[in-house]
Structure 1
């Protein structure tokens, strides 16, 4: 040994090899990176096992029997050999024939593959829980002022836990299922194109994966038929989810000079084929404790948002969040094997999942899933490698997380007051300080509209104004309902409205107008895209708030803003039937708001001549006339079909909806159960009579018109379409029907 390295001085180690907690010498890869290296019983170190790298220890093992623990290396080699033999029985025959080459070092990928499958470890996010017991026991002994545990006993504990944590071998049917999915992968050129589109146009303010690393893995997947990635269900599922998400944005990647190139139709979902393949693998990765399974569920949830934000997307997003909590992504890991880049990946994945899930629950009026009190991991930070990313959005990620944390605090009534449900007094300073803290590259006015990051910055501002709307939405409806109800009474009998409620309503209306201004800029710059949940819901809720505020007061720009908002919704809806039905909801509310405005103006004009009782002699007759006219319009709408609804204004649905039912304890004018029941019936009627669906004599949907009904209802792939429409348009945020039994 000295003859081979004459210039190197050999030192005797102060601690014998068998008593060392780490490997006597790191593998070549860890040594070159000066990283800690911990060898596993399979003969591969933890880092190489996690990343599916070739692992080689450049050292001579201690001959057995020369020292006390000399037989341990021999046992490790035997265990690794047994592991390889067990893995050979579950690998597909096609790969067995390819790996029978007469080269000695070639079985290394098989060792990586067997370790991944049998230990439940994925290449991207190998769990280190199997080594948690010894660390915990060591800390416990130190806490009780005891001597450290002998290294041999600690090593035995790690080996014991590894055997306990080892799940059963991968079933052959799972291997065959994975092979069938891989056989349906797109060509390499298509895969690279979809990945590029997903990164440039679908990443937005979130983090899916390390872009350069994932692109390199995808290249290895296609170029190497024996790559362990072809046996990693987590990677395959994540790749399919990425293809599906990228397919939604291919219209933005079509060159302007290519007009005759075929493109997916407006009503179709080009990513559906990839989603159908990916969901067949979710059962195989749902119980895997790795970061990659979180990423796969998360990207699938993002892809499904336009089609089913309240259904499948909500479930996948919740699954990703629960899995992130299960593997401890919400806490800073004390695993010494994790490098800073791996720790940062865990942070970014968790905050991306949490921020989007929380934003969607706020917009859909759903309860909070996770409290910030249990989150101890710090925010994402900037790394030198971010400059090499194709779409470097680390600043967007940080700003989005900070805004979501503010929204989470302000949107949780339990943190305010059980009596008034008013936000804290510093809500304005919290939101304004966030906007002032934005760096120059995240200012919308200085962002190039032609850059791929424009829509990401646009969505930051969109969510910022949505936060103001979410805070004041109840106040707007409170004031509108109060003024309409008391329009017939004497001014001296009208109770004063809390100035805080008026301030919130004013801020909400102002934010809605600014949000519509954002969409005007989006249209002028040519960045308005096909149906997107975030864009559609934002434009819808802003238009609704302007409509409600316009019941009491209409400025010169009112009609222009409303017409622009509805026209913008029509353009985004395209041929998507669910979105088109959502447009009908907003148009129906416009008709109701116009009628409420007319009624309010009539009450104000006649207030000096009508009796103090507030009754009007002409109201019953006018109501009957209106009902008869409504019936004729419904018949005409049913005869014309749904294709004409975009051109014709919607008929008034029923008695004007002038507000919303308030949450428990909201300070407002007293409401009656009769009004609440009437409002509920009006909204429920929107799903049938307002859209020209055939009705029978009793006013119910005609069950004999089955084929005709199918043309009016959204796709049956996702159920609960009425709930989705309420969330899509933002009407559930206004909570018109809350409190009804």
Structure 2
């Protein structure tokens, strides 16, 4: 006797019931379904719709799975429309090409439809995307795509092709004003004696230039020789170099005391003659700003950058931010942000322009990011070449800071990516947080790998106090550690919240682990900054006007205070104590810095009061009304 095969476990497929034996209709019409009534079928119209005098109709049969896969969905169709709208009708929708385009967009290097998808006719349109015309060796006229200037040039070429003589439309040349320089008669009165000028120049190059490029040293000294000996009236074109000279001297006065030994350095006080001299040079240079804006030349960018450097420790978010913005505007007006391929311009001028652009871009972007402001130029809008080694631009000493300059630029670009991901993470729904946390983790790993790849001899990571670029290298690592703090400090207080809630799932546990890792990296970077500042203090000395040293130390102290609020740790407390002592030395003589230090001190006192559960330590004299007034006055200046 044959036994039936065993039944498979699980839900069995029901056999089809013939239509004649069905108690319900095989398909219900839409009106019966909407009214939740039993449809008797037999239509259209069905018996019930015929009874109620309704229009009976049935839903179209669903397409077969093969048809659904073959036809694009509405979502795909609309996405293709969006892609063609933003990237052009000639964009290739091939998966490989789309992946390449997505990578270019993510890296900020996509500037239009990929070249492989363009037709021959598009090449003519590409050449019209922007124009860069030299007016002189140091001034150029830039016009972007779809500008009035480019369109007028197109009309001009069309007229020439129709036989119009070239001389009849030369009026299209850009206008450049020439006049006497502002305050011509009093400029030379502000030039210090030549030996003092040499001393201040050397001081600037040694202590203020660090990891940026402001001018070629050889050209600067040639211009200094020229303007100290020339006896002609100065014109508006001289304003750029005059301001560059004066502001270099002014910045040199800020760091002049660094040239003395530690035992000869003047005691810290609020009234320092060097500051008054530098301020006089700065105020006179401000009188040249209208001339600088009018000329908008290579030297104009230099001058505005130096104005920003001088005011950086005085008013970072105000004056310095504005001067860097003006430097960016002048550079864009000269087309420095675009790749220059004209064979008529000497290579040394092209490289000079590239280095100035990237210095302005790095300084302005860094200040904007750390102060929560939008950057002036998107990375996708610039394609200027990165700085390259050129014999004509090497310093006479033979030791170039070019590797450090390049590293500072790349570090700024990486900081921009971190800022974008953190901003998306803060604004995204909770379901997308893991995606951005993963992106941030990859950026952290990439940043660490990149840092480890930098040279550790002479440049970048060489922290030998006897090295020629020791202070520059310390500043570069301060920037690196500050980027780690910027990446991790949003998670300091989230770490405590994650620990208190617990891990509800594997995803929550992974998220809490990432938060804890970022928080730990932030704390380690803050302690590293304190160690680096201590290293500077014990070797070449801390500079009381160095924005990099002050802002890094301040950032580290705020991160340590925040970390102590989540749970005290002895190593953190020791680093905090050392850092408070160091920052008090840096801020001497700068009112804005002292006010910011007062805020940090107030936060630390409040933390200690919470930690000890009492308002003031035992034996400490109570504050007088005048003491309270002074603290309020310092906070009021913020």
TM-score, length basis structure 1: 0.59
1:505 CA drift (Å): 1.1
1:558 CA drift (Å): 2.8
Rounded to whole Å, the distance in 2 between the matches of 1:182 and 1:405 is 41
Does residue 307 (structure 1) correspond to residue 320 (structure 2)? The answer is: no
Does residue 198 (structure 1) correspond to residue 204 (structure 2)? The answer is: yes
Aligned match for 2:558, one of 538, 544, 550? 544
In structure 2, the residue matched to 1:454 is 470
The answer to whether the Cα contact below 8 Å between 1:351 and 1:379 also exists between their aligned partners in 2 is yes
1:511 CA drift (Å): 1.2
Aligned match for 1:218, one of 224, 227, 240? 224
1:194 CA drift (Å): 1.5
Aligned match for 2:571, one of 557, 562, 573? 557
Q: What aligned pairs does 1:288-303 form with structure 2 within 5 A after superposition?
A: 288-303=295-310
Rounded to whole Å, the distance in 2 between the matches of 1:490 and 1:252 is 53
In structure 2, the residue matched to 1:512 is 526
1:516 CA drift (Å): 1.5
CA 1:303–1:225 in 2, change beyond 3 Å: closer, same or farther?
Answer: same
1:524 CA drift (Å): 2.0
Rounded to whole Å, the distance in 2 between the matches of 1:441 and 1:386 is 22
Aligned match for 1:126, one of 126, 139, 163? 139
In structure 2, the residue matched to 1:469 is 485
Q: Deviations over 1:680-729 (max 9, x none)?
A: xxxxxxxxx58444xxxxxxxxxxxxxxx6xx579xxxxxx41xxxxxxx
Q: Secondary structure at the match of 1:286?
A: helix
Rounded to whole Å, the distance in 2 between the matches of 1:176 and 1:319 is 19
Does residue 277 (structure 1) correspond to residue 294 (structure 2)? The answer is: no
Q: Deviations over 1:63-98 (max 9, x none)?
A: xxxxxxxxxxxxxxxxxxxxxxxxxxxxxxxxxxxx
Q: Secondary structure at the match of 2:183?
A: helix
CA 1:560–1:477 in 2, change beyond 3 Å: closer, same or farther?
Answer: same
Rounded to whole Å, the distance in 2 between the matches of 1:295 and 1:284 is 14
In structure 2, the residue matched to 1:365 is 372
Q: What aligned pairs does 1:78-89 form with structure 2 within 5 A after superposition?
A: none
Rounded to whole Å, the distance in 2 between the matches of 1:227 and 1:189 is 24
Aligned match for 1:355, one of 358, 362, 366? 362
CA 1:126–1:557 in 2, change beyond 3 Å: closer, same or farther?
Answer: same
In structure 1, the residue matched to 2:591 is 577
Rounded to whole Å, the distance in 2 between the matches of 1:326 and 1:478 is 45
The answer to whether the Cα contact below 8 Å between 1:330 and 1:376 also exists between their aligned partners in 2 is yes
1:445 CA drift (Å): 6.3
Aligned match for 1:166, one of 160, 164, 175? 175
Q: What aligned pairs does 1:11-410 form with structure 2 within 5 A after superposition?
A: 125-127=138-140, 153=165, 156=167, 159-162=170-173, 165-170=174-179, 174-175=180-181, 177-226=183-232, 232-254=238-260, 265-266=271-272, 268-390=275-397, 392-410=400-418
1:567 CA drift (Å): 0.3
Q: Secondary structure at the match of 1:392?
A: coil
Q: Secondary structure at the match of 1:204?
A: coil
Q: Secondary structure at the match of 1:310?
A: helix
CA 1:515–1:279 in 2, change beyond 3 Å: closer, same or farther?
Answer: same
Rounded to whole Å, the distance in 1 between the matches of 2:296 and 2:328 is 13
1:199 CA drift (Å): 1.5
Structure 1 stretch 524-533 or stretch 318-327: which is displaced more? 524-533
Q: Deviations over 1:143-198 (max 9, x none)?
A: x9x999699955x3784334xx234542xxx5462222233322222222222211
The answer to whether the Cα contact below 8 Å between 1:473 and 1:545 also exists between their aligned partners in 2 is yes
5+ residue gaps, structure 2, are 1-132
1:561 CA drift (Å): 1.0
The answer to whether the Cα contact below 8 Å between 1:331 and 1:375 also exists between their aligned partners in 2 is yes
CA 1:562–1:175 in 2, change beyond 3 Å: closer, same or farther?
Answer: closer
The answer to whether the Cα contact below 8 Å between 1:548 and 1:593 also exists between their aligned partners in 2 is no
The answer to whether the Cα contact below 8 Å between 1:120 and 1:167 also exists between their aligned partners in 2 is no
Q: Secondary structure at the match of 2:387?
A: coil
Q: Secondary structure at the match of 2:312?
A: helix
The answer to whether the Cα contact below 8 Å between 1:396 and 1:442 also exists between their aligned partners in 2 is no
The answer to whether the Cα contact below 8 Å between 1:221 and 1:229 also exists between their aligned partners in 2 is no
Q: What aligned pairs does 1:634-653 form with structure 2 within 5 A after superposition?
A: 636-639=623-626, 641=627
1:452 CA drift (Å): 5.4
Q: Secondary structure at the match of 2:295?
A: coil
Rounded to whole Å, the distance in 1 between the matches of 2:502 and 2:630 is 40
Rounded to whole Å, the distance in 1 between the matches of 2:611 and 2:181 is 65
In structure 1, the residue matched to 2:605 is 591
The answer to whether the Cα contact below 8 Å between 1:449 and 1:527 also exists between their aligned partners in 2 is no
In structure 1, the residue matched to 2:111 is none
Q: CA RMSD in A?
A: 4.0
Rounded to whole Å, the distance in 1 between the matches of 2:142 and 2:441 is 44
Q: Deviations over 1:293-325 (max 9, x none)?
A: 111111100110000001111111111112212
Rounded to whole Å, the distance in 1 between the matches of 2:620 and 2:162 is 86
The answer to whether the Cα contact below 8 Å between 1:266 and 1:575 also exists between their aligned partners in 2 is yes
In structure 1, the residue matched to 2:11 is none
Larger-gyration structure (1/2): 2
Rounded to whole Å, the distance in 2 between the matches of 1:692 and 1:351 is 41
